[in-house]
A and B are shown apart, each in its own frame.
Chain A
Amino acid sequence: MHIVVCIKQVPDSAQIRVHPVTNTIMRQGVPTIINPYDLFAVEEALRMRDKVGGTVTVLTMGPQAAEDALRRALTFGVDRAVLLTDRAFAGSDTLATSFALAAALSKIGREFGEPRVVFTGKQTIDGDTAQVGPGIAKRLKLNQLTYVAKIVAIKPAEGEIVVERRAEGGMQTLSTKLPVLITMLEGTNEIRRGTIDDALRASRQEIVTWSAADAGITEVAKCGLKGSPTIVKKVFAPPPRAEKALQIATADQSMEELAEATTKAIFKRRPKLEEDLIRFSAGP
C-alpha cells in the first residue's frame, strides 16, 4: 500500500526574532525543523507500513532548502522523498498550497502508484491554520479524517479504515473507505529513531524534485500569491495596554496583610464576584 505524508519545513519558532523597528520576521540564520506536529503523521505512516506492507513517501512544498527536512524524514525510515519547488509557489496561502500539493499528489500517484492514505499534521507552528489537510482532501476527493487519535483498523484489501477522531465534546469512531486523508493528532505516538542503514541512505538517496510544470501544473494563476484569495494587509506588534497593573503593597508587607489587601482590591474592583463566590462556597 502506498502512503504519502505531507510535511512542512518551519522555522524553529522558539528562536524566531522580530525586528524591533520594522516589525518584520527575521528569518536569516533561524534554524529550521520539520513541523513538530508532522512527526506524529510520519510515525503513524511508518506503523501502518509495518502492519500492512507497502511504501511511505514524504512530500513537501518549499524552497530548495526544504530538502533538509526531507532528508531528515528519510532517516526515520521513509522510503521516498519528493520536493515540490518553484518560484511560482511563493506567497501561497492555504488555498494555493492545497492546490499545489494536490497536483503533486496526483503526479506521485501516476509515477509511484496511487496513495491510499495521505497523512498531514494537525497544523503547523508558523502558519498554524490547520486548513491545508482539509483543502487537499477536498481537491482530491479523499475521505477526510481530521484530528485522528488512533487508527483502530485498516484493511487495504477491503478498502476500509476505522479511526478514533477527537470530535467536539467527545471521541468519534468513524469508519470510511480508502483513499483517505488523515490529519494526525499530537501526542499520539513517538517518532522512531530509524536504523543506521536509514541514516546512511538518507544522506545519499536522490530527492525527487519537481517544478510546477514537472508536477503537471498548467494553471500558474492558481499558484502562489496570484492564486491566494487572502491578502496580508499588515503585520504589527500587539499594542501595549494603557495602564500598568495596580501594585498592591502594605506598610509592613507581612504575607497575611498582603493577602488581606489583595482580596480587598479584587472585591473592590468586582463586588459581584464576592457574591458569586459566597453563593458557590455555600453549596447548591
Chain B
Amino acid sequence: MISPVKIWRNQKKIKTLLGCKGKIISWSKIHVPPAGFENQAPYVVVIVSLESGKNYTAQFVDWEEEHLRIGQRVRAVLRRTREPGEEGVIPYGVKFKPL
C-alpha cells in the first residue's frame, strides 16, 4: 500500500544517498516480479557497498551486459520506483547506474 505520508518521510533518506558511489557486491535479474512491478520485469537488483562503508539494496538502471558483475562501480540516482497508487502520488527512490 502506498502512503503519501511515508513517501514524504522517506525523502530525507533519499537525499543522503543521491550521488553516493560504490561497488556491486551481488546482483540478480528478476524475471518474476511481485505486485506493483509487473511492468518493469525483467529488471536487475543490486546490493552496493558504498564508499561510506554502508551497503544499500536498490534497482540497477542504464546497464549493459558487461556491467552485470560483482565489483562494477556505480552511482546512486533518483528514479521513479513503482506504479502510482490510488492516491496518484508518484513514488521516487534511489536506483544505481554504472560508472
- Say if A and B assemble together: no
